Amino acid sequence: MKILDKRMTLDELRSIASDTFGDMVKAVVDVDRRLVALDAELHSDLEALFLDNGSRQQDLWGINLYPLMAGDDFLEFDSMINMRPSQGNMSRGVEDRALRQTITGIVEEWISE
Mean model confidence pLDDT for the chain: 96
Q: Would you give the distance in Å from CA 51 to the centre of its chain?
A: 15
pLDDT score of 21:
86
Work out the average pLDDT over 58-82.
96
On the question of pLDDT at 13 being above 90, the answer is yes
Write out pLDDT tens, residues 17-65: 999 888 999 999 999 999 999 999 999 999 999 999 999 999 999 999 9
Of the two residues 104 and 21, the one the predictor is more confident about is 104
On the question of pLDDT at 10 being above 90, the answer is yes
**Which residue from 39, 43, 29 is spatially nearest to 101, judged by alpha carbons?**
29
Of the two residues 68 and 113, the one the predictor is more confident about is 68
Q: How many CA atoms lie within 13 A of 49 on its CB side?
A: 22
Ramachandran sector of residue 54 (left: φ over 0; alpha: ψ -120 to 50; beta: rest): left
